[in-house]
Amino acid sequence: QVELVESGGGLVQPGGSLRLSCAVSGSIFRINAMGWYRQAPGKERELVADITSGGSTKYAESVKGRFTISKDNAKITVYLQMNSLKPEDTAVYYCNGRSASYDYWGQGTQVTVSS
């Protein structure tokens, strides 16, 4: 079993920054890649950023140049640095761990961008 625990969400003004963290524990050897997804009210969950075990990254077009995904292998933690935040970034952000046969999810953390 794999457990993912997110932290770092909150309320921020437009143009501000937040850093989300996802602590990973359990059978981490199963994990091939980690990612951040988000889901806004009335919308489907969407991929925000993804990082493989080798360190390759990909981003949604809407966040390129503003968000950065990274990982600390020693701390077994994945981060999402979010800069230049916009109101449309408001959503619940979920950490995802992907194995060969299963997706693991965290409980989600709320990010609200509002003045």
Q: Residue 54: which residues within 8 A CB-CB, separation 6 or more?
A: none
Q: Per the structure block, which two tokens stand in for 11?
A: 């309320």
Residue with the bigger pLDDT between 31 and 97: it is 97
Number of H helices, E strands in the chain: 0, 11
Count other Cβ atoms within 10 Å, centred on residue 5.
14
Q: Quick one: pLDDT at residue 1?
A: 85
Give 27's pLDDT tier (boundaries 50, 70, 90).
confident
Rounded to whole angstroms, the Cα distance separating 33 from 24 reads 12
What letter represents residue 5's amino acid?
V
Mean per-residue pLDDT of the chain: 95
